[in-house]
Amino acid sequence: MKKALGRIAAAAVVATVGLAVAPAPASAAGETLFVYVDEAWGGPGYKVTGALPDLAPHNINDKITSLKVQLGCWRLFADANYRGDSISYYTGWVQTNLGYDGLNDRVSSIKPC
Applying CB under 5 A, the residues found at the interface with Ca ion are 62, 78, 106, 108
Minimum separation from the CB atom of position 79 to Ca ion (A): 6
Residue nearest to Ca ion (CB): 108
30 vs 62, which CB is nearer to Ca ion? 62
Residue 7 CB, nearest distance to Ca ion (Å)? 30
To the nearest whole angstrom, how small is the minimum distance from the Cβ of residue 85 to Ca ion? 9
Q: Of the candidates 33, 57, 12, which has an alpha carbon nearest to the alpha carbon of residue 112? A: 33
CB nearer Ca ion, residue 61 or residue 96: 61
Closest distance of CB 78 from Ca ion, Å: 5
Pick 14 or 62: Cβ nearer Ca ion: 62
> Residue 47's closest CA among 17, 72, 74, 85?
17
Cross-strand pairs, 13: none
Q: Which residue from 44, 84, 89 is spatially nearest to 64, judged by alpha carbons?
A: 44
Backbone angles phi, psi at 12, to 5 degrees: -65, -40
Tell me whether residue 66 or residue 108 sits nearer to Ca ion (CB atom). Answer: 108
C-alpha span between 27 and 42 (Å, rounded): 26
Return the SS3 of 19.
coil
